[in-house]
Structure formats: C-alpha cells, structure tokens
Amino acid sequence: MENTRKWRWGVNRWWIFGLIILTILAVNFIAKPIQPHIQVAPERILLEPIFTLPVIGDFYFVNTLPSMLLVDLIIIILALLVRNGLKGGTLVPKGVAALIEMLVEALYNLTETSAGKYAKQIFPWFATIFVLVLVANLTKLIPGMETIGFMHHYDHGYVTQNIGGNWNILTPELAHKGEGYIVTPFFRGLSTDLNFTIALALISVVMVQVIGIRAQGVRYFSKFLNFTTIFKKPFLGFMDFIVGILELISELAKILSFSFRLFGVMFSGTVLVALVGAMLPVFVPSLIFAFELFMGVIQAFVFGMLTLVFMAQATQGHGEHDDH
C-alpha cells in the first residue's frame, strides 16, 4: 500500500507556536521595527553626481542601478543554466531548463493564440518583457532588499547602535534634529523606479508601431490620419479624421498607462510592507509579502499581456477584414 503523509497538527503546532514566540521576542527585545524613510524617487547611494550631461543634467548613482544589475545577472544565470541543461542534444531537459521550457511553451502558445501568423515576430518582445518584469518584481522579496545600506544624516532620523565593527543598526529612538540617521539601502525594487517603467513603456509602445508597420506597411498610418472618405462623404470623412486623432492620443496615453500602472502597484506594495511591518510586526507582514509575491507575478503578466494584445491589434487592418 502507498503511504501518504498527513499533517500532524498535534506535533507541528508546537513549531508554529515556538516561531510565533520567537518573533514576538525578536521584535520587542532584539530588533524593534521602526518607521522607514519612504520617498518616491530612488535614493542616492553616492551624494555626488557621477557625471553631468549638457541637457539632462547631473547623473547620480541611485540604488535602483545595482538592482538593475542584479536583475540582469539573475536572467543571465538562468540562461546559462538552460544552456547547460540542453547540452548533449538531450530532448528531455531537467531542472531549471525544464521549468523554463514549460514557461516558454506556455507563453508561445498564448502568443500564437492571440497573434496568429505574427507570433514569431511578437513573441520575443512579449516573453522578454514578461521575464524582465517578473524577475524585477520578485527580487523585491529577497531578504535585505531595501533594508541594508549606508547610513546618512537626516533631520528627523533615528539614533544608531553599533553591533560590531562598522556595522550599525537604527533604534526606535528619535534623535535630536540634525543628529539622526536614516538608511539608504544598497538595493531598491527596480519596478519602483519610474525611470525603469517609463523606459519599458517606451520600448513597448515603439515596438507596437514597428510591428504594425511591418504587417501593414504605410497603410498602418491610416488609423491615425484617415483621409480616404473625407472627399466622398465629408461628414463621415470628418468623423473618421477625428477618430484617427483620438487613436493617436490613445496611443501616446499607453505610455502613461504602462508606466504608472506598474510603478504605482509595486511602489504601493513597498509602502504597505514598510508601514505594516512597523505597526504590526508579528503576524501581518508575512501575509503582505505573500500578497506582494502575487501582485509581482500578476503585474508582470499584465504588462507583457498588454504588449502582446497591442502588438496583435497593430497587425490588423483598420476597419478591414484581414485574413488571420
């Protein structure tokens, strides 16, 4: 007979109660939570600018740049693991390679269902954006992210406590004005930087236009500037012209929609975790982290899926019955 393992509440509940007691002791006597310093713009790790550009201005080393390098490194490592898993011409990949194969197959099937014969053109952009945003969102959950960094003077900061060497921690005690410290973390969630989300939105919207031009040629611009019926049927032609202008405005609005949707959700998650962790440090933060994990996956899927849908729509003729 096959033996099945069952949850033994009588034994395992003591582990749960023990962890709860340790958590209570830790947040009350070892590392009391404090109200973190929250700002929309990424924090500067180095206070002096790295270089200055004529039009853009000063370029600072902010804490989302190391996060971007970390995200890139994770993706490169995953790619190398997949390559190693496919060595020898094996038809049945194992480990990470098998997991990535399942993900790629699911994404390609989804692309093929939505885009049809244009799937091969759209899939690289859809899959790349999805994987990049997914890894960027999930790195926020790594222990130490947004909590370990340099201490800087701050007018309304906290008193520090030395724990050995050059390592210090902040205490819940507020310092006198001008004498306190706050932590500028080495890493901050990449998706909480508006520069990243805007750059990704620009790439997505520009490539939507490129895919549309490849599929339809010059005829693609007729959905923005439609003069085909303005002389034959002036009233309907004028309405088509107005609709085209609205299409152009909506196309530009996609940049704002893409950017602020991802930025707003991920930044609000950071604020929520910080505030709840400071006010209710015993049970609730673990639930918030689980919610952050869920929202990180959903937002990556939403961003990638919207890119896929817009690219698929761009391949279709405006007001015509094309073959799909």
State the total domains in the chain.
Answer: 1
User: Given this model, what pLDDT does residue 322 score?
Assistant: 44
Residue 115 covered by a domain? yes
For residue 41, which of 192, 240, 143 has the smallest C-alpha distance?
Answer: 192
Tell me how far apart the alpha carbons of residues 35 and 47 are, in angstroms, rounded to a whole number.
23
* Two tokens, residue 97: 């390679």
User: Given this model, what pLDDT does residue 1 score?
Assistant: 45
CA dihedral sign of residues 92, 94, 100, 102: positive
CB 167 within 8 A of CB 150: no
Residue 117 covered by a domain? yes
Residue 280 covered by a domain? yes
User: Given this model, what pLDDT does residue 133 score?
Assistant: 94
| Neighbour count for residue 180 (Cβ, 10 Å) | 20
User: Given this model, what pLDDT does residue 243 score?
Assistant: 80
Residue 304 covered by a domain? yes
In this structure, which amino acid lies at residue 154? Y
Residue 168 covered by a domain? no
Tell me how far apart the alpha carbons of residues 267 and 193 are, in angstroms, rounded to a whole number.
8
List the chain pLDDT tens, one digit each, 324 residues. Answer: 445 555 555 556 777 677 667 766 766 666 667 777 788 888 888 888 888 888 888 888 999 999 999 999 999 999 998 888 777 666 677 778 888 888 999 999 999 998 888 999 999 999 999 999 999 999 988 888 888 888 888 887 888 888 888 888 888 788 887 788 888 889 998 999 999 999 999 999 999 999 988 888 888 887 777 766 666 776 676 787 788 788 888 888 888 888 888 888 888 877 777 777 666 666 566 667 777 888 889 999 999 999 999 999 888 865 544 444
Residue 165 covered by a domain? no
Can you give the residue range of the structural domain that contains 247?
A: 63-148+190-314
Tell me how far apart the alpha carbons of residues 247 and 229 are, in angstroms, rounded to a whole number.
17
